[in-house]
Structure 1
């Protein structure tokens, strides 16, 4: 009888973010321009969302293009080459196509020939879901270096006649390189949750096997984002607060221990409500939605990169990332920078 190999004694490894990157398309779509598309105003949009403008991908610029540019920026920031990447995870709800995965297209565009590739679908929560997946692969010694990307071209799934949704979203990508690094820094704790019973308050009904692509479905705009704004707002605040408190408790930290909070960039009112209930000054929150709108899986990744490059986080600082998205899904992570 052949005996199985005895596993080697491998200690659990810590996981650190060693580099970040982001990319925003050049085209800026202002509230004034949206006023020409639907019945709305700059004052209405800003007062209810905090958004003044957003970025829109150029014609022929796909999700994989956004992701690849963010990835190259992260690799440069980390000081590594594409050949060192073992795994590419792309969190997105706007893949280039159903298959191959967008991660495979990114692999080809950046030359990461040694990497395995797959996508993660968790809507706006996708980047933190992918961070946790990457952490598990690294702590188990399966892979050493993982590229995590959040990228979405939401302009391709927006109903530009729906004033309740078309004002909210933009295009962009953010990326992070994860690797074990000596010392106590890295991902300390992560929390993830879902509620499929509330999937009908934020979703895209068409395009899949339930409502395949047909002329009738396209004419009915079933391939566009549908959202119950009031219910989404309520669920987002409660879920993100719950996720924040649970991950902080698991990390044995209090809110005041945090150097900064990087929340999902969906609505300024949501961020202000979370800051108020956590009893933290709004200045401790990283906010860029006024310039980019909601970029879904890319939102927290872009904000993380901006915080990194502007010195918002110093070595040893505790950082909270917290997100909410369709599914419903929500997640949080505490990182020691």
Structure 2
């Protein structure tokens, strides 16, 4: 599998921790005591320190998710040397979406002018982009499609950000909201036609613990009819309100990701030159690489640069690494992610670019 392009777009509004803390204080001043406000601020600062959160990017007035993703898609086409009519499959992998149906991929098939492409969505929370790589690789190996584009528009902050904390009891499932950033990405893949041997081929492994789906979710209006599980959430669930028991999710997800990696020695034996992970927390990422015996200098800690950009985390990081020259032709790449669901994902490949 060959990467013809990986491009990303950030919205223009740079949001600092100080801005978030100011908004939290203002949103809660009327119903929390001064002592409670001080406790909330102390806890939020501690979470930012543990995760390495510094800034995140959110849309300014007039900026739209579709425009950000379309911009990334057009730049990916330019970088790839392909015409829009050369793309024959579009996969949309963002959690961010405006409709339950049809597939959000149809929006970008239209906006990017991919008239010869069929299009559908792949959704597995923050692991969605890695899932799409796995699907794309299978299609390319069989020759079902020649050129595949993967797009996401993780621009959820204006929908899910809630500075108001109705009670201190909500803190456990509320605070991860404050670390969500926004980004859009577009990746273009084609088959590697130069006789790559098995060692250079793409390989992925996924594991899922559905019983832990209540650790992190975004409910819809008909949530109760479909979730099939009682949830212990302080306060009232609201449609599109992000719920994430961050500490429990990180503990379970990182433990299972470490076990997953250790259970498959071929991923360790691969000896990656660069490791990219989901940017939910730099602290969690550091714990994973230390437990797995991975050289921390090979891992990109990107939460500090743009916070948690959900399924865009890995392609954003790879796009930046390509632009800086850190990722180059022939590098051996390992992807690692723990995602809501809970899903753990591993992928390895030798990077081949245009």
TM range (shorter): 0.7 to 0.9
2:250 paired residue among 233, 253, 260: 233
SS at match of 1:98: coil
2-structure distance, mates of 1:331, 1:54: 24
TM-score by length of structure 1 reads 0.86
Q: Which residue of 1 aligns with 2:163?
A: 160
1:254 aligns with 2:240: no
1:289 aligns with 2:300: no
Number of residue pairs the alignment of both structures matches: 315
Structure 2, unaligned runs of 5 or more? 25-39, 166-173, 227-234
2-structure distance, mates of 1:82, 1:35: 44
1:150 paired residue among 145, 149, 152: 152
**Closer/same/farther in 2, CA of residues 246 and 152 from structure 1, 3 Å limit:** farther
2-structure distance, mates of 1:210, 1:144: 42
Q: Which residue of 1 aligns with 2:238?
A: 221
Question: Which structure is higher in helix share?
Answer: 2
1-structure distance, mates of 2:2, 2:265: 18
The residue correspondences of 1:264-283 to structure 2 (distance < 5 A) are 264-283=278-297
1:203 aligns with 2:217: yes
Q: Which residue of 2 aligns with 1:90?
A: 92
1-structure distance, mates of 2:264, 2:201: 11
1-structure distance, mates of 2:205, 2:259: 10
Contact 2:282 2:302 in 1 (8 A): no
Structure 1, unaligned runs of 5 or more? 1-14, 213-217
Deviation at 1:204, TM superposition (A): 1.6
Deviation at 1:281, TM superposition (A): 2.9
CA RMSD between the two structures? 2.3
TM-score by length of structure 2 reads 0.82
**Closer/same/farther in 2, CA of residues 17 and 208 from structure 1, 3 Å limit:** farther
Q: Which residue of 2 aligns with 1:9?
A: none
Contact 1:247 1:332 in 2 (8 A): no
Which string of whole-angstrom CA distances, capped at 9 and with x for unpartnered residues, describes residues 8-30 of structure 1? xxxxxxx2222111111011111
Which string of whole-angstrom CA distances, capped at 9 and with x for unpartnered residues, describes residues 3-54 of structure 1? xxxxxxxxxxxx2222111111011111011111224268434312101010
